[in-house]
Each structure stands twice: as C-alpha cells, then as structure tokens.
A and B are shown apart, each in its own frame.
Chain A
Amino acid sequence: MTGEKSTGATDLVIESRVLTKEFRRGRSGRRGRTDSVLRAVDSLTVTIRPGEAVGYIGANGAGKSTTIKMITGILKPSTGSVLTCGLDPMRHRRDLARRIGVVFGQRSQLWWDLPLQESLRILGAIHALPPTRWQRRRDQLVERLDLAAFLDRPVRRLSLGERMRGELAAALLHEPELLILDEPTVGLDVLSKERLRVFLREENQGADGGPPRTMLLTTHDMDDVQRLCPRLIVVDTGRCVYDGDHAGLVARVGANRLLVIDLVDPVQELAGALAGLPVAVERTDDAGLRHTITFAPGEVSAGAVLDRVSAVAAIHDLSLSEPDIEEVVRRLYASSA
C-alpha cells in the first residue's frame, strides 16, 4: 500500500470542484407530478491538505452530511467532482474505505449485541490487518481511549460516552490517512467531550509516532471547533460562505460571548464601570440585579470584564455563553447574502 501513495495524482487529501448535489422531491398531486429540486450542496470547491484539521460547520440542513457522503463515496454528486485521497470515491469506495475512517455520531459501526472487543476483532479482519499490526494498534487505542474497563461489555450496554470512544477506536483501527467525524460529540457530557477532544488533537498531531492524521469534523459545537480546528469551512444551504481561521470568522460576523451577571445588591447602571472596554451592557431586570454583557471573544477577556464589575458591585452569580454556532452561521449568511 505504501507504494501506491507516492503514485497518487495529487497530494491533497480532499479536492472538490464545484461539487453539487441536488435532490428531487417528487410530489404527486391532483395536477399531476411536480418536482421541486433541493440543492443540498451547491458548487462547493475546497481543498484539504495532509495533516489539516478542518471544522465543517453549518446549521441543520446546510448540507454537511451530504458532503461527507459524497466524500466517502456513498452518494453520487449531481455535478462537479470530488477526489478523496486522490481517488474517485464513487468508483473506488471500497479501496477508499481502507484509507479513511468515518465516525457518524448518530450511527454506530459497532456490533450492537456483541462485546466491544469483538467489534475491534471483526474490523481487524474486515480491514485485513496483519495480526501483529492489529494487536499493536488495538492495544494503543485501548490505552489511549481508556477502553479496558468495558471491552467485555456488549455495545448496547455502553453509555454514550463509552460508545463514542469505542466508535473512535473502530474508525482509527486501520490507521486511516483521513478521519471524518460527523457530529462526534453530540449528546456527550462536558467531561466526555473534553476527553474526546484531547484524543482527537493527539491523533491529528500524529500520536504514537505516526504521521499527522488529516481530520474533517462536522459539528454544531463551537467548542469542538475552537479546540480542534484551526480552519473552518462554513456552509449554509449548500453554499460555502466562509473558509478561513477563527479570528477571521469572528471578525466577519462580530460573534459575541454573552456574560449574564446577578448582583448581590441592585445597581442601575454598569456602563460606567465598564467604560473603555469594547463591550455592550444592558440591565435585564427592573430591579437592577441582573445585567447582560456582550463582547467579542478576541477583544476582551471575561476576567477583565469581571474585574471591572466586581470593583463596583458584589457578584452573586454569573453565566457565560459562547457564540452559538447557529447564530454565527445565521449572521454570516445574512452578511454574505
């Protein structure tokens, strides 16, 4: 297999050219059949280089999963083309399957009724891994994903967090060049998400002395993207509306963090205390106990804001929310429309 890599026509891991997918929604009504065309992916042209970690984000129905299905050869593009690891995915789906790993967050590739370790054994055979290589890789993943405690348990009895770690082991067992993650952290608690991110970061940077692994991640979770992906591709209704880094995205839409502060004693106005900082403040109840402060993540830290507020009033409680990805995308789309 190593011989084939050097003969690859391209050094790009993913290369799409005006990739488009249309679905026909046929409807038989009284006036005969009417077809409406839904363009799920619209003229997507992107390239991803080896070792990159790219966040592919957008609202529900933006075309993320459709794109992934075309990249993996499960879905045929309507027009345009895509090359994955230098291969036409539709024609070489099975060859490609040996070189990429996919985690569909909402689906399982594990054998539901069997212990987790059986899935890893079956996948080893499916990928035709030599026994020694399989053993070494399996042991690495068991250790790094901390699977030992539940290897013997049937997959159906694993918690969601445990199952997702199992899914990652399954997708990475054959050491794919490209790892595609479709909503890998959806439904996980904070701690599980964090562990998964640490692991994925290591994989991307080349854990266990391996080469860096290219990663494409779709998510709704801005934290995932912020922690894992230096590069973002944002799609809306099938179109690429942004391709670049975080700072550029935040600058473009002015996405804000939201800090809600409850004070011990009412204060009518906090604007004075925050003068000079690039923030907006608003009293959100009549009594003056609750105030909402919005600010851009890159421009000022939450700590600086809190310092100023606590200088004039005692803080009883607070909550901080990150820019909501749906909101960012909505604003981005509004700004690019």
Chain B
Amino acid sequence: MGGAVGQVRQPTALRAFAVLFSAGFRRYATYRRATLAGAFTNTVFGYVRAAVLTTAITGATVGAAVSATATGGGSSAGSGTVAGYTAGQAVTYAWISQGLIASVMLFAWNELALRVRTGDIAVDLARPVDLQWSWLAGDLGRATYLLLPRGGPPVLVGALTTGLLLPHTAWPYLLGGLSTVLAVVVSFAGRFLVNLAAFWLTEVRGLVGAYAGIGAIFGGLLIPLSWFPDWLRVIAWSTPFPAMLQVPVDVLTARVDGATAVRLVVVQLLWATTMLAAGRVMLRLATRKLVVQGG
C-alpha cells in the first residue's frame, strides 16, 4: 500500500486545493450586500480617478499648448499626453485598475494575523494540509469570486461614460488573464508574509496599514508609475507592488506588448515564487518558536 499512498497523494492535495478554492469563493459569495457596496465604492472611486487624471492631462497639455502658441486651440484631451498617457489611455487605466483592485486586494488584510492573535491558528495547524497552500487556495477563490461583481461594474460604467481604449486582439487578454492570476498570487504572498509578523508582534494593524498604503502607491493605484519622478519610479519597480496591479493593467490594455509584456509576466512569476518561498521559511521559523495565544 505504501507505493499507492505515495501515488494518490498528489491528486488528494489537488482535491483539497480545489475544495478550499471553492470554499474561499463561496465565503465571499455569501456577502452580497457587502459586495454591492464595494462595487459601488469601486465605481465612484473609478469615476473620481478618471476625472482627476483627465484634468491633469488636459491641464498639462493645454498649458503646454498655450506656451508653445500651438495651433488647434480646440485640442481634444486625447491629443495631449502626460508620461506616455493620453487622456483616453489614462481613464482606461483608472477604470481597469478599479476593476482589478478587489481581486488583487491592495487593501489592508489581516485575517491571518487575527487568527494568530486570537490563537485560532492552532486549528489551522492541527489540519493535515499545508497552511500556506490552503490559504492560497482560499485567497484565489476569493479573488475569482470578486472579479465579476466587484470588477464588472466599474469597467462597465467606464465603458459607458468615458469609453475605454481596449485592444482588439485576443493575446493581451490571454496574457493579461495569466498576469492577473499571478498578481493575486504575489499579493497573497506579500500579505501572508506581513500577517505572519503577528507571530512576533502581537499587534500588526499598523504594519498591515502601512503595507497597504505603500502598496497602493507603488502598485500604481494612485497614479500610473510612469508619472512618478525617475528616482521614485526606480524604487517602485524594485518592489513587488507593481506586479500586483500596474503590470496586469498594462498587459490587459496592451500598453506593453510583445517581449516586454512576456518579460513583465516572467518577473511576476519570479516575485510569486520567491515570496511564497520566503513565506514558507518564515512560517517554519514561526511555528518553531510558536506561542499560540490564549487558552
């Protein structure tokens, strides 16, 4: 039987992964009103961001046009660019990133840290499954559920109000789909690491909040990274945060294509694997010195 047990282990691990994925999906599916409220907020913020970016670009380009006494005083927003973005591309960026934000979870997330803090982590550790693997499965389920009800409305409203500049070939969507999955994995791996800090620090809310704040800026949620000054852009691209939002948006909208797009996705893959590996090391250290809180 020994050999047979070894052989069936792989399918059973996959079965557990699939079941935990679906549990993560349905956990979020039970909260319809929260999802609706989130979608509304995502859409409102999408509108605000699209308006701000448009104003910035038309303001800058009108200013440039006046100083150069350019012809075509009625220059449309689309004709000027800021850091490579026309107004049309910028609003597309705003709406698509709003559509992904719930799935890639660039917000403060401390569910795992809370389980460490309350000691409920003991329950997770008393199961015959890998802790990181099972939480990743649940998080991918969560992201998959949130993609449509949280991501759909802002993208739809964007398409109907300002219009979106989207590619007309299949490849950017295929590669973009992969990039989005990897973005969720990188995001999870980062949140997992930050949450594990709860094994050493009893209070991680500050850390989680700071991490989410930096993530929103360096991930490209505030403004596209190409709008940053050079020095800040270099710093941002040396962190994993662009791999969580800027990259999937750029690939989906074909802002980057060809070899550049593939290279960015490979970098995402590298972030995902190294950060998951770091999470495993940290988890091992944590469980070795583990003090489960509470009785």
List residues of A whose CB falls within 8 A of some B CB: 1, 3, 23, 60, 64-65, 69, 72-76, 93-95, 97-98, 100, 102, 104, 106-109, 111, 113-114, 118, 121-122, 125-128, 154, 182-183
Q: Which residues of A contact B23 (CB under 8 A)?
A: 111, 114, 118, 122
Q: Which residues of A contact B126 (CB under 8 A)?
A: 72, 74, 93, 97, 100, 102, 109
> CB distance A69 to B122 under 8 Å?
yes
Which chain B residue shows the least CB distance to A129? B12
- Please give me the 6 A-B residue pairs with the lowest Cβ-Cβ distance, nearest first: A128-B12, A125-B19, A97-B128, A113-B27, A109-B123, A94-B128
B66 contacts the other chain (Cβ, under 8 Å)? Answer: no
B288 contacts the other chain (Cβ, under 8 Å)? Answer: yes
B212 contacts the other chain (Cβ, under 8 Å)? Answer: no
B129 contacts the other chain (Cβ, under 8 Å)? Answer: yes
> CB distance A122 to B20 under 8 Å?
yes
Which chain B residue shows the least CB distance to A182? B295
Which chain B residue shows the least CB distance to A125? B19
Q: Which residues of B contact A125 (CB under 8 A)?
A: 12, 15-16, 18-20
> CB distance A98 to B122 under 8 Å?
no
**Interface residues as binary, B59-79 with A (CB distance below 8 Å gives 1, 0 otherwise):** 000000000000000000000
B26 contacts the other chain (Cβ, under 8 Å)? Answer: yes
> CB distance A69 to B292 under 8 Å?
yes
Q: Which residues of B contact A113 (CB under 8 A)?
A: 26-27, 30-31
Contact flag A111-B19 (CB < 8 Å), given A3-B1, A74-B125, A127-B128: no
Contact of A107 among B5, B31, B123, B128 (CB under 8 A): B123
Q: Which residues of B contact A73 (CB under 8 A)?
A: 125
B38 contacts the other chain (Cβ, under 8 Å)? Answer: no
Q: Which residues of A contact B5 (CB under 8 A)?
A: 1
A118 to B19: give the CA distance in the assembly, Å.
10
Q: Which residues of B contact A111 (CB under 8 A)?
A: 23, 27
Contact flag A97-B27 (CB < 8 Å), given A74-B122, A107-B122: no
Q: Which residues of B contact A114 (CB under 8 A)?
A: 23, 26-27, 30
**Interface residues as binary, B103-132 with A (CB distance below 8 Å gives 1, 0 otherwise):** 000000000000000111011011111100
22 A-B contact pairs sorted by A residue (CB < 8 Å): A64-B295, A72-B126, A74-B126, A75-B290, A93-B125, A94-B127, A97-B127, A97-B128, A98-B128, A102-B126, A108-B123, A109-B123, A109-B127, A111-B23, A113-B30, A114-B26, A114-B27, A125-B18, A128-B8, A128-B12, A128-B16, A154-B30
Q: Which residues of B contact A100 (CB under 8 A)?
A: 126
Which chain A residue shows the least CB distance to B27? A113
Contact of B288 among A72, A76, A107, A121 (CB under 8 A): A76
Contact flag A65-B295 (CB < 8 Å), given A72-B126, A114-B27, A125-B15: yes
Contact flag A74-B292 (CB < 8 Å), given A69-B122, A108-B123, A128-B15: yes
A125 to B22: give the CA distance in the assembly, Å.
12
Q: Which residues of A contact B287 (CB under 8 A)?
A: 74
How far apart are A68's CB and chain B's nearest CB, in angstroms?
9
A115 to B295: give the CA distance in the assembly, Å.
27
A128 to B20: give the CA distance in the assembly, Å.
13
Interface residues of B in 1-30 (CB under 8 A from A): 1-2, 5, 8, 12, 15-16, 18-20, 23, 26-27, 30
B52 contacts the other chain (Cβ, under 8 Å)? Answer: no
Interface residues of B in 127-181 (CB under 8 A from A): 127-130, 134
Which chain B residue shows the least CB distance to A68? B122
Q: Which residues of B contact A109 (CB under 8 A)?
A: 123, 126-127
